[in-house]
Structure 1
Amino acid sequence: MRPLLELAPSNADTVRVAREVLAGAMRMLGPPLSGTTVTPVDDHGARGEWVYARRLGALDAVILYVHGGGYVACSPRTHRGITSRLSAATGMKVFAVGYRLAPEHPFPAAVHDVAAAYRWLLGQGFTPDRIVLAGDSAGGQLAADLVLANARAATPQPAALVLFSPMVDLTLTIAARHERTRRDPLISVPKVRSLVEMYTGGSAHPRLELRPEQGMVLPRMLIQVGDAEFVAADAVELARRWHAVGAESELQMWPDQLHVFHALPVLAPEASSAYRAAARFISASLESDTAHAV
């Protein structure tokens, strides 16, 4: 697949085709679990869908999920393979936010949409300590950006942050250094950079850097990443930044795994173990926040 991806130019016209190809691949390699219930939402600026597993436990808790796709592709629908498995593993409802995509809607449209989804959940009666924020790849970057924005505005934080193969450095400098020693089997850094530039428009806005500051109140964070993928070094750096400001983070490096292997359970059976590990982290985070509240 990598040679085909490398040959395809990245522009507004080819992105539309790539969206369809990627959606088909994800349906084939990571279909949603049977018995999953999906309910669309378009309410007061919040767009997305509820995803419910067959059996739910804590009805007062929710996962807000932000999908990846290089800021230019994918949707809650394409990521039902992930959200249905997260719901099944945790016994929790998942709200998958449908944010606007570049190049039609560049930065900061996606940022605003993710923040609107968080505010909407609060307005639906979910307390911050019963919300878990999660995302993959570009969605992981958007999720982490939201908690940093919450910290700056003194907005109550979610109980935990769970990131699958998150992007961190949108200049791709860290990833380029990593690529010199470990070649991503699926996609190259130059190809990713061309997609990111459609989102950033060449902007060097500080919100694109994911740099926590001393004194920030941040939720505990879990990162799961494959050691073969282009954002492996990004994940290490984000965990280091969290620790540097006194926040709690756990980094799980999965050997020889593709970028967001969670989305490809047909190719990567290890995804099941990753979901179970994420579920344990989420359960512990919610129990910890409940204990603190008591």
Structure 2
Amino acid sequence: MVMAERPEVQTASAPVTALSVAGLAASMLTGLAQVPFRHPWRGPSTLVGNVGQAVTRQTIRSFMGYLTGLPIDEFRSVEKVIDDLCRVAMSPVVELLNDVELSDDVVAGVPGVWCRARASSESYVPDPAQRAPIRATLLYLPGGGYVGTTPMMYSAFVASLVRVTGAEVFVVDYRKAPEYPFPAGVHDAARVYRGLRMRGADPEHIVVAGDSGGGGLAVSLITHLHEQDEPMPAALVLFSPQVDLVLDYPSINENAQCDVLPWNIPVTAYLKGVSPDDERVSLGRGETDPEWFPPTLVSWGHDEMFRDGIRDFVDRLDGAGVDVEGIEEPGMFHVYPILMPWAEASLRTYGAVRDFTARTVAADPGAVPTHWRSRRVERRLRAARREDPAEDLPGISSGS
């Protein structure tokens, strides 16, 4: 159920929607026409790579700039048209090329789309003994600045994640602003997390992942789970996360000409009165602790507007002792693994995600990875020390 299908969400009439779609196409064509005049051959990669990056940058910038200027009813209608096109035209190709199955589902009342390898799917392999093992369950929160996007728009990307990690992925169609500002999306993500656990997924087998606004939402989810004293997932994987909504870092202005994001990034609709430096929405300014914050992998581009905020976030995690890996790719813009999956930088990031999930996720549901087991033992020892300070207990390294 995309936002436009929710009965309480207003949409535009068919003629207005058609005109809006035509305007979007014209905007993207205009953007592409500008590419030859922007020296597309310049850059850190090969000629083909630089031109591909320039075309992608200008296309996405025109796409996002046009959509963010529409009234919300037109925005929702155009979003629905794009989702329908992805469902009809792109999804069958994605399934065929990646040997995966895409299926709609509702988890704990929240809609979304599953992506599984056909070799792991009950539909294709009825005999459980013959199915390929599922190495992890990814709860994926798609980006879109907290206001837009749908699971089907992410079908190609999550299929790549399935291929490289051997996991199954549930892309959450959480409620979005302005109709549903913070904390609606966080609550939806938490419901899905609990719903997956009720279906039998062990927390040590779950990876929470997200990009851009969805990455910020993923971090907010971790904070929410901690506040509710719920078990943490095995790991957190973030692609260009929007973890600081104050937007006062130098890279916001310095990289505006290089990034795919619009220069006037909207966050007001999502916050709706919540201060942008509130730690629930800007954990880059908050406190973390390795005793509850899961191992984290973060990737981002050197040329993206969120760069400095992400750097500070990763430094804060590292300074707190959290198991964190940071990947900053030179010459890359916002969410480059999604927009340019063929690029060498994206392939390196996919490999890092594969290795990271293999290291942090339990090999079998119910099994606890060594680094988490040692941390839990250490927590018990610390608790024992607090109860009986005189007792001399041996220390155990937390590992990583």
Match of 2:72 among 5, 9, 12: 12
Map of 1:187 onto structure 2: 261
Map of 1:178 onto structure 2: 251
Matched, 1:77 2:148: no
Shift of the alpha carbon at 1:165? 0.6
Equivalent residue letter for 2:236: L
Shift of the alpha carbon at 1:214? 4.8
- Mapped to 1, the partners of 2:299 and 2:81 lie a distance apart of 26
- Mapped to 1, the partners of 2:240 and 2:73 lie a distance apart of 27
Specify whether residues 20 and 187 from structure 1 end up closer, same or farther in structure 2 by C-alpha distance, changes over 3 A only: farther
- Mapped to 2, the partners of 1:64 and 1:146 lie a distance apart of 11
Match of 1:198 among 248, 258, 269: 269
Q: Which moved more, 1:120-129 or 1:213-222?
A: 213-222
Match of 1:32 among 69, 90, 94: 94
Aligned residues: 287
Output one character per residue of 1:193-215: Cα deviation in whole Å (capped at 9) or x when no partner: x2x21111242154112123457
3-state DSSP class of the match of 2:322?
coil
Matched, 1:240 2:315: yes
Shift of the alpha carbon at 1:188? 3.4
Greater per-residue helix proportion? 2
Cα pair 2:140 2:210 within 8 Å, conserved: yes
Shift of the alpha carbon at 1:167? 0.4
Matched, 1:108 2:183: yes
- Mapped to 1, the partners of 2:81 and 2:239 lie a distance apart of 22
Shift of the alpha carbon at 1:169? 0.9
Aligned pairs for 1:273-284 (under 5 A) are 273-284=348-359
Q: Which moved more, 1:16-25 or 1:68-77?
A: 16-25
Specify whether residues 215 and 135 from structure 1 end up closer, same or farther in structure 2 by C-alpha distance, changes over 3 A only: closer
Aligned pairs for 1:200-219 (under 5 A) are 200-204=271-275, 205-210=278-283, 211-214=286-289, 217-219=292-294
- Which structure is higher in RCO with an 8 Å CA cutoff and minimum separation 6? 1
Cα pair 1:100 1:109 within 8 Å, conserved: yes
Output one character per residue of 1:1-55: Cα deviation in whole Å (capped at 9) or x when no partner: 3367546625424533663687569987xx7352220121124323212111244
Specify whether residues 13 and 141 from structure 1 end up closer, same or farther in structure 2 by C-alpha distance, changes over 3 A only: same
Specify whether residues 159 and 44 from structure 1 end up closer, same or farther in structure 2 by C-alpha distance, changes over 3 A only: closer
Q: Which moved more, 1:209-218 or 1:221-230?
A: 209-218
3-state DSSP class of the match of 1:208?
coil
Equivalent residue letter for 1:198: A
Give TM-score, length-normalised by structure 2.
0.65
Aligned-CA RMSD value: 2.7
Greater per-residue strand proportion? 1
Shift of the alpha carbon at 1:268? 3.6
- Mapped to 2, the partners of 1:284 and 1:215 lie a distance apart of 17
Match of 1:50 among 114, 120, 136: 114
Q: Which moved more, 1:261-270 or 1:139-148?
A: 261-270
Output one character per residue of 1:140-174: Cα deviation in whole Å (capped at 9) or x when no partner: 00111111222222211111100001001112123
Shift of the alpha carbon at 1:269? 5.2
- Mapped to 2, the partners of 1:50 and 1:275 lie a distance apart of 20
Gaps of 5+ in 2: 1-57, 121-131, 375-400
Equivalent residue letter for 2:254: T
Map of 1:159 onto structure 2: 234
